[in-house]
Amino acid sequence: MISTKNLSVRLSGRTVLSDVSISALPGRVLAIAGPNGSGKSTLLKALSGELPYQGEASINGRSVSGTDPLALSQLRGVLPQSSSVAFPFSVAEVVSFGLVASRHHRKTEASGRIAEALSRVGLHGYEARSYLELSGGEQQRVQLARVLCQIPKPVEEGEPRWLFLDEPVSSLDIRHQLAIMQLARDFARAGGGVIAVMHDLNLTALFADDLLLLKSGEMVGAGPLAEIMHDHLLDKAFSCALKVNRVPEGDLPFVLPHTVGI
């Protein structure tokens, strides 16, 4: 389980996250949504151990700030919102960065893990391609393969593992958006945990079990998606009139804007 209590983050003298108390359970996908600058990436970074925080944050009962980076890297993999690669690495090299923290150092085993991770994101056979020559969506999927190389299994040694995904489908076409969200949900259904920052509310409705809405660094609502995805909470979070509708079959919510312009 992941849990935070009164988690706050100050950056450059500004409070950018304030009193966030949430829990995320293995077996479920937690989506974080909210306007630009609302603190979504900051929250993921604090949970990842990349930023100092006040309050409490724990992964599987271990305090995030009190756990060393190597141990954290075996518990959770992080897909940042953007990743830049400055040198002309091959795709296999970029994916292999995910192996650094793992114990699988034998070369044959490493290449098998790289190939498997690439297959999972639909990039079978891309190992020798130059990363910098790939399209934006292909690069995003290579970065996800790197994370899957680091955390290939939802459960290891009886403990759930976690994927922290910051806008994992922002550059992807519709088919790959669905495939990657399905991969995230499968990871959760197999006993792991997923926390994903999402801007697409309809994909969120399709794939998330729980939803955290943030605004200006504060919680607007958190809980099961069915309890949080309502007009008034979305309106409060996004300052924009949104209407949650339902597909009659399956009672699936979908969201339409009420007004045009901001």
Ligand X SMILES: Nc1ncnc2c1ncn2[C@@H]1O[C@H](COP(=O)(O)OP(=O)(O)OP(=O)(O)O)[C@@H](O)[C@H]1O
Paired with 218 in beta bridges are 215
The span of 29-37, 58-66, 70-78, 106-114 binding ligand X (CB under 6 A) equals: 29-37
CA distances from 61 to 15, 41, 160 (A): 26, 22, 11
Q: Residue 48, interface with ligand X (CB under 6 A)? A: no
Q: Residue 12, interface with ligand X (CB under 6 A)? A: yes
Do residues 151 and 48 touch, judged by C-beta distance below 8 A?
no
Q: Residue 36, interface with ligand X (CB under 6 A)? A: yes
Q: Please report how close the Cβ of residue 208 comes to Mg ion at its closest, in angstroms.
A: 17
Instruction: Write out the two tokens for 110.
Output: 């490493």
Q: Please report how close the Cβ of residue 171 comes to Mg ion at its closest, in angstroms.
A: 14
Contact residues for Mg ion, defined by CB under 5 A:
40-41, 81
Q: Which of 63, 60, 136, 131 is nearest to 97 (CA)?
A: 131
Q: Please report how close the Cβ of residue 222 comes to ligand X at its closest, in angstroms.
A: 15
Q: Please report how close the Cβ of residue 89 comes to ligand X at its closest, in angstroms.
A: 25
Total site size for ligand X, rule CB under 6 A: 13
Q: Residue 262, interface with ligand X (CB under 6 A)? A: no
Q: Please report how close the Cβ of residue 198 comes to ligand X at its closest, in angstroms.
A: 10
Q: Please report how close the Cβ of residue 81 comes to Mg ion at its closest, in angstroms.
A: 5
**Which position among 38, 58, 96, 139 is part of the footprint of ligand X (CB under 6 A)?**
38
Per-residue x/- marks for ligand X, 60-89, CB under 6 A?
A: ---------------------x--------
**Which position among 8, 18, 42, 58 is part of the footprint of ligand X (CB under 6 A)?**
42
Q: Residue 152, interface with ligand X (CB under 6 A)? A: no
Do residues 261 and 251 touch, judged by C-beta distance below 8 A?
no
Q: Which of 58, 36, 32 is nearest to 225 (CA)?
A: 32
- The tokens 């910051």 sit on which residue? 166
DSSP per-residue codes, 53-110: -EEEEEETTEESTTS-HHHHHHHEEEE-S-----S--BHHHHHHGGGTTSS---HHHH
Q: Residue 39, interface with ligand X (CB under 6 A)? A: yes
Instruction: Write out the two tokens for 87.
Output: 């040198």
Select 117 or 198, whichever has its Cβ closest to ligand X.
198
What count of Cα atoms within 13 Å lies in the side-chain half-sphere of residue 52? 4
Q: Residue 52, interface with ligand X (CB under 6 A)? A: no
Q: Which does 4 bind (CB under 5 to 8 A by kind): ligand X, Mg ion, none?
A: none
Q: Which residues contact 231 (CB under 8 A, 6 or more apart)?
A: 241, 242, 243, 244
| Sites of contact with ligand X (CB under 6 A) | 11-12, 14, 16, 34, 36-42, 81
